[in-house]
Amino acid sequence: MKLLSLTVALLATFTTAHPVFDDLVTPSTPLDYKRAPAASLRQVSNFGSNPSNAKMYIYVPDNLAASPPIIVAIHYCTGTAQAYYTNSPYARLADQKGFIVIYPESPYSGTCWDVSSHATLTHNGGGNSNSIAKMVDYTLKTYNGDATKVFVTGSSSGAMMTNVMAATYPALFAAGIVYSGVPAGCFYSQAGGTNAWNSSCANGQVRSTPQVWAKVVRDMYPGYEGERPKMEIYHGSADTALNANNYNETIKQWAGVFGFDYQKPDMTQNNVPQSGYTTYTWGEGKLVGVYARGVGHSVPIRGSDDMKFFGL
């Protein structure tokens, strides 16, 4: 992991100015998550190797597809699998579309995710990312899941973990949607801390080039040359928990990975998907950034739009 350590250490050395892609908006009306299906959230205790002791919860709808897609929905700090199940739209959408939802639960006090340790930032390294990947493997095998339609999303700490999952297990996911997170590796702890907080990153002070950010991603899975998931990044301009500069840095990271010029999106759409939001698109949708003027932490989940991005 020396390469990752050295690469992350370089991040603080790059502080060149760069444009904020607009300034961001007001959340849309929340979806009505109330439902009364026969199916319910349940815990899976024996899903395989679980080196970090993360918990697995799963929602399998009654109208399960023959070869169901899978969405991994990752909660925020202080959250739980039950809370994200209740307060996000994915289980209701699963009832309609027949996919499975995995709700991982953090094993730590405060229930933030470990996005700081050597283990979690390494493919098969034994951290939270490894445990979540095992949950996906279990679900694919148990329910004859469609391995070409596995997706990951999350809010806040779960958004951070979404970026980490896309970096450490790129072959596992077709797409990721990030609601108010930070770049993969931005919370890296040089002291070796597990589930460590990184104020410099949270405050938007960690800045670098697309090339350095891309190297951080590649160092998490050395030698990987395959396809990488398409990514959609949401962030609010008024975010005081994870500074809005983390939007720029996350866009730079994935633009660097895909080989796009982050300063030259192929398409810019004002007031899309709603008033005050600006949507930027690179590479025919391989990378999408949605910057929400006036929105704090975190950007509300847009379930129907998520389904479109996932192709469900």
Q: Which residues contact 10 (CB under 8 A, 6 or more apart)?
A: 208, 212
Question: Strand ranges (DSSP E) for 113-185?
Answer: 150-155, 175-179
156 is catalytic: yes
Q: By C-alpha distance, which of 125, 136, 148 is closest to 103?
A: 136
Q: Cα–Cα distance between 212 and 204 in angstroms, integer?
A: 16
Sheet containing 267-270: order of strands: 42-44, 55-59, 100-105, 70-74, 150-155, 175-179, 230-236, 287-292, 277-282, 267-270
Judged on CB neighbours under 10 Å (0-12, 13-18, 19+), 64 is middle
The secondary structure of 5-62 as a DSSP string is HHHHHHHTT-------S----PPPPPP------S---EEES-SS--TT--EEEEE--T
Give the C-alpha separation, 256 to 161, whole Å.
19
Instruction: Write phi, then psi, for 233 (nearest 5 degrees).
Output: -120, 120
Q: Residue 107 class from Cβ within 10 Å (0-12 exposed, 13-18 middle, 19+ buried)?
A: middle
Structure tokens at 53: 């002791």
Q: Tokens 């938007």 sit at which residue?
A: 204
**263 forms bridges with which residues in the sheet?**
none
Active-site entry in 52, 88, 156, 237: 156
Among 155, 129, 132, 160, residue whose Cα is nearest residue 70 = 132
Distance between CA atoms of 26 and 156, rounded to whole angstroms? 18
Return the active site residues. 156
